Chain A
């Protein structure tokens, strides 16, 4: 693995290596998984990620450049994006800055959904702020879809991350997000309504809400 560079991160499903201005994301095998399922997930997610990173950029959302894909080793090589994870950044911002940032996240997601790109894992850990642009990464769970349901689930994932991880300023972030999203995505009202319906299906949706 030396030619990939130095390991700079170990996520849940992949190892990250850096060499100069490139990052290689290697989806590693999981010992706990049935081998056929393991292969299938790594293959489809590697392909999807490479494809969606490019499509998202074409839709006007900042992403790293894909420079190589290896379907044998389940590796996507892309440009290195310095900067800070939105997850780590949010707590250090002022109320106004946070709102501003969430509006821009909402706008980016609005652009993705306008292009029928569903991210699949919209967490603040998958957004990097670099030179005032928000880069989106980790499209492995994403897809192309024009279904309201899929976009609604995308929003639900983001909303839940605010609830579990950014609970101290959850509401202001969500309001900002909805503002940005509504300004950029034509069918935002329908998707936001579906989000409510999906949440209600859940096992623990509050009775009086």
Chain B
């Protein structure tokens, strides 16, 4: 098959990413621009969307320059169709449609969560992993079975990254709080916080409240430590149970929270106990990025999927298991 080049647009939340990837899996460019967050506020969907709209042309140019190619060399356009924040998704979709129309190239809308899994499979040795996907917006335990990525466990309310970031803002630690909490946690002492696992699902909203209240009684380092130990132990526990149930022999960690060293160590220890391999993709594709969108676009296109303009509406709550996975057997 002739090699094709795909430009992928990621815009589900505060990050705008443009990736350029070939069908042989070479990443030619992966440029991410992030909306500057205010110290005391989360992502404002409309402001993030405005940021994306303002910077799309510039980030596309930067990616093309990095790749050393021009727009005419692009054979396929892919974009993140969901799940994510509506206004942000729509900017990515409009940009993708515009490019597709003006270049006369096919268009594919992809599922953001599956993008994380597929770029991980491309860039690690993992072939058929049980995947723990954890970020500011998502927390899922996912495994492939008979033509779908099936969700074995997920959060019942907020995502783990959202829990940590919200806590950090309430504790005046800055934004995004993940790295700061991780650093402070190393100096802290553990005390019990609510631990909420329901079957293979998780709940984080109650722990967030308890952690914020604990700031009145405990040093901030101790709260950071306890929060991290609790929310991560919950993640590892459900991943472990999904591993036992699915009988997979690989565990992969993806998503922005995956950069946390403590979480990596915990999952790695658990995988080792079960004789399973442990994989984490390189840091630049761990969080949201355009390369993962472009690569999934290539996989879908090669399996015969393209979308007409009519079929490129965004899906804010796009489920991982809605997508028919035609590129794996």
Interface residues, chain A, with chain B CB atoms under 8 Å away: 10-13, 30-34, 36-37, 40-41, 120-123, 125, 141, 153, 156-157, 160-161, 163-165, 167, 198, 201-207
Q: Using Cβ atoms and an 8 Å threshold, which residues of chain B touch A207?
A: 315-317
Minimum CB–CB distance for A161 against chain B, Å: 7
Q: Using Cβ atoms and an 8 Å threshold, which residues of chain A touch B320?
A: 204
Interface residues of B in 120-162 (CB under 8 A from A): 137-139, 146, 148, 150-152, 154-159
B228, closest chain A residue (CB): A34
Bound-state Cα–Cα, A123 to B152, Å: 11
Q: Using Cβ atoms and an 8 Å threshold, which residues of chain A touch B198?
A: 120, 141, 153, 156-157
Chain B positions 253 through 295: 1 when the CB is less than 8 Å from some CB of chain A, otherwise 0: 0000000000001110110010000000000000000000000
A203 x B155 contact (CB < 8 A): yes
B233 x A32 contact (CB < 8 A): yes
Chain B positions 89 through 121: 1 when the CB is less than 8 Å from some CB of chain A, otherwise 0: 000000000000000000000000000000000
Looking at B138, B201, B236, B315, which has the most chain A CB atoms within 10 Å of its CB?
B201
Closest 4 CB pairs of A and B: A157-B199, A32-B266, A12-B241, A32-B269
B317 x A203 contact (CB < 8 A): yes
B224 at interface by CB-CB < 8 Å: no
Interface residues of B in 232-246 (CB under 8 A from A): 233, 236-237, 240-241, 243-245
Given contacts A201-B157, A206-B319, contact A31 B192 (CB under 8 A): no
B154 x A203 contact (CB < 8 A): yes
Q: Using Cβ atoms and an 8 Å threshold, which residues of chain A touch B199?
A: 120-123, 141, 156-157, 160-161
Identify 5 new A-B residue pairs, CB closer than 8 A, beyond the known A36-B190, A203-B137.
Answer: A12-B237, A13-B240, A120-B198, A201-B156, A205-B317
Q: Using Cβ atoms and an 8 Å threshold, which residues of chain A touch B267?
A: 32
Given contacts A120-B198, A198-B156, contact A37 B192 (CB under 8 A): yes
Given contacts A202-B156, A203-B317, A204-B319, contact A37 B230 (CB under 8 A): yes
A203 x B150 contact (CB < 8 A): no
Q: Using Cβ atoms and an 8 Å threshold, which residues of chain A touch B245?
A: 123, 125, 165
B150 x A41 contact (CB < 8 A): no
A11 x B244 contact (CB < 8 A): yes
Partner of B83, one of A141, A153, A161, A204: A204
A204 x B154 contact (CB < 8 A): yes
Interface residues, chain B, with chain A CB atoms under 8 Å away: 83, 137-139, 146, 148, 150-152, 154-159, 190, 192, 195, 197-201, 229-230, 233, 236-237, 240-241, 243-245, 265-267, 269-270, 273, 315-321
21 contacts between A and B (CB under 8 A): A11-B244, A30-B236, A30-B270, A30-B273, A34-B233, A37-B233, A123-B200, A141-B199, A160-B201, A163-B150, A167-B146, A201-B156, A201-B157, A202-B155, A202-B157, A203-B154, A203-B158, A204-B318, A204-B319, A206-B319, A207-B317
Bound-state Cα–Cα, A173 to B316, Å: 29
Q: Using Cβ atoms and an 8 Å threshold, which residues of chain A touch B243?
A: 12
Q: Majority SS of interface residues in chain B? A: mixed
Given contacts A120-B199, A203-B138, contact A13 B315 (CB under 8 A): no
Bound-state Cα–Cα, A30 to B271, Å: 11
A41, closest chain B residue (CB): B195
A158, closest chain B residue (CB): B199
Bound-state Cα–Cα, A207 to B81, Å: 14
B150 x A206 contact (CB < 8 A): no
Bound-state Cα–Cα, A32 to B230, Å: 11
Q: Using Cβ atoms and an 8 Å threshold, which residues of chain A touch B190?
A: 34, 36-37
Given contacts A32-B233, A34-B190, A202-B156, contact A157 B201 (CB under 8 A): yes
Minimum CB–CB distance for B230 against chain A, Å: 7
Q: Using Cβ atoms and an 8 Å threshold, which residues of chain A touch B151?
A: 160, 164, 204
Minimum CB–CB distance for A32 against chain B, Å: 4
Looking at B190, B236, B317, which has the most chain A CB atoms within 10 Å of its CB?
B317
Bound-state Cα–Cα, A36 to B237, Å: 16
Bound-state Cα–Cα, A157 to B201, Å: 8
Bound-state Cα–Cα, A125 to B263, Å: 28
Bound-state Cα–Cα, A204 to B273, Å: 32
Q: Using Cβ atoms and an 8 Å threshold, which residues of chain B touch A165?
A: 150, 245
A34 x B229 contact (CB < 8 A): yes
B319, closest chain A residue (CB): A204
Minimum CB–CB distance for B242 against chain A, Å: 8
Bound-state Cα–Cα, A141 to B138, Å: 24
Minimum CB–CB distance for B157 against chain A, Å: 6
Q: Using Cβ atoms and an 8 Å threshold, which residues of chain B touch A122?
A: 199
Given contacts A11-B244, A203-B159, A205-B317, contact A164 B152 (CB under 8 A): yes
Q: Using Cβ atoms and an 8 Å threshold, which residues of chain A touch B317?
A: 203-207
Bound-state Cα–Cα, A92 to B249, Å: 25
Minimum CB–CB distance for B318 against chain A, Å: 8
Bound-state Cα–Cα, A34 to B319, Å: 33
Bound-state Cα–Cα, A201 to B204, Å: 13
